[in-house]
Amino acid sequence: MSTVVRPLLGVVDEQCREIVALAREFAEKEIAPHAAEWDATKTCPREVMRRLGELGFMGLKISEEYEGLGLDTLTYLMVLEEVAAADASVSIMLSVHNSLPVSMLEAHGTPEQKERWLKPMARGEVLTAFALSEADAGSDASAIRAQAVRDGDGWVVNGEKAWVTNGDIADLVVMMVRTDSPEDRRGAKGISTFLVPAGTPGLKPGKVEDKMGLRASRTTSLHLSDVRLGPEHLLGQEGQGFIYALSALENGRLGVAAQAIGIARAALEHSIRYAQERRQFERPLADFQAIQFKLADMATRITAARGLAHEAARAQDLGERVTERASMAKLFASETAMWVTTQAVQVFGGYGYMRDYPVERLFRDAKVTEIYEGTSEIQRIVVARGLYSD
């Protein structure tokens, strides 16, 4: 495939090139051939995550001290793009595992918590989920109602969480619940983070959601009925959980940007091949200027989205605050994915509307990138606020 479509590897160091090349090879051989089947059956074998763990990709952002790769953000995004180009469902499972849970554990976990969880997470033996949203608390995440009540030196938790990626297959759920009281609400400062292992009595997954896209990725609700958690389950300080999550959102949003870029790239690659093979009026579609212009615009937008994401990644690796840049990257990349996949369906014509062809799945997968990890509307609010700050 043309180097115009894929990221330039000559501008990164040798380690990054080797890791991205390994990710591309694994994605093309072990993931892409099964993507349509996994989408149809709404399953992704756990073996895939185990194999990703063996290659080190379940510990992309985990420090070497805890058996992870400790990668810079740029390399992390390039790996996610390769996986997403093969199957967006696998990429979001990988991204969720490597983003907020890892960031929050590394920054705020006790030595015992880090030792207990980060090493098996890096090896792919423990798959994580992140539970913040609720049925009535999506964009306004600080409005969550799941409640933890003090009981001795621990807590008893009741409530429900919604739209949890990996919800019914995760071994550990990093969960946000209220620790203030209904009589004394403290807003964002009344929310704490708990590490809740799967199988904890009272924790039960709900039904697997029947989604438009990312169908191989498991998304469920979580029901909490008198879930008892000891002090060892509290991550960091009580009442600081939402603040921890906000500080880690940059990684999540950049991860979704990389996912969106991978989806868009796959759609463009399929469109190029199809335009060269499909003939109309005794000529390949690729000979028609109308198709050429579509493909050129698709490639240009993908490259621009990648540039935004990679600029934010490089800045983060230098220790800079990239809240607005991460939102810009997520906003532009997700809307690019939706636009590019729409154009891809158009290039394929009637075949693009059929499930026998991959662009139909990519079109469905693209939509959610404009919604989760903060909707496009929320990203615009974040960017606009940044314009007014000093």
DSSP codes, 149-197: EEETTEEEEEEEEEEEETTTT-SEEEEEEE-SBTTB--GGGGEEEEEEE
What phi, psi does 262 have (nearest 5°)?
Answer: -65, -45
Residue 373 is a catalytic residue: yes
d(CA 324, CA 330) in angstroms, rounded, equals: 10
Q: Tokens standing for 106?
A: 């590394």
Tell me, what DSSP letter sits at residue 199?
T
Q: In this structure, what is the dihedral angle of CA atoms 190, 232, 372, 331, given to the nearest 10 degrees?
A: 80
Q: 3-state DSSP helix/strand/coil percent for the chain, to nearest 5?
A: 60, 15, 25
The residue among 255, 246, 328, 233 whose CA lies nearest residue 96 is 255
Give the active site residue among 115, 250, 373, 377.
373
φ, ψ (nearest 5 deg) of residue 134: -135, 170
Q: Judge contact between 341 and 263, C-beta under 8 A.
A: yes
The upper half-sphere exposure of residue 76, i.e. CA atoms within 13 Å in the direction of its Cβ, equals 32
Name the residue type at position 24. Answer: R
Q: Cα(272)–Cα(332) distance, rounded to whole angstroms?
A: 22
> Both tokens of residue 151?
């009981």
CB of 242 closer than 8 Å to CB of 182: no
Question: What sign results for the dihedral spanned by CA atoms 146, 151, 155, 156?
Answer: negative
As a whole number of angstroms, the distance between CA 194 and CA 294 comes to: 48
Q: What residues form DSSP beta bridges with 164?
A: 220
Look at strands 128-131 and 172-178 and give their pairing. Answer: parallel
The residue written with tokens 């994605």 in the block is 27
DSSP 137: B
Return d(Cα 209, Cα 226) in angstroms, integer.
Answer: 24
Q: Which residues are catalytic?
A: 373
